[in-house]
Amino acid sequence: MKRRAFIRSATAAGVATAAVAASNFPKPALSAG
């Protein structure tokens, strides 16, 4: 696997995880984070 593809997929996974986590947090925590 090429490094660029790995970084891209890892970043996409990180963004997806962050989005799911953010949607589970209340809005004050979201705006603070």
Dist CA 19 CA 23 (whole Å): 6
- Would you say the pTM of this structure is higher than 0.75? no
The pLDDT tens digits of the residues spanning 1-33 come to 689 999 999 999 989 888 887 777 666 655 655
pLDDT of residue 20: 82
Helix H, strand E, coil C: the string for 7-29 is HHHHHHHHHHHHHHHHHHCCHHH
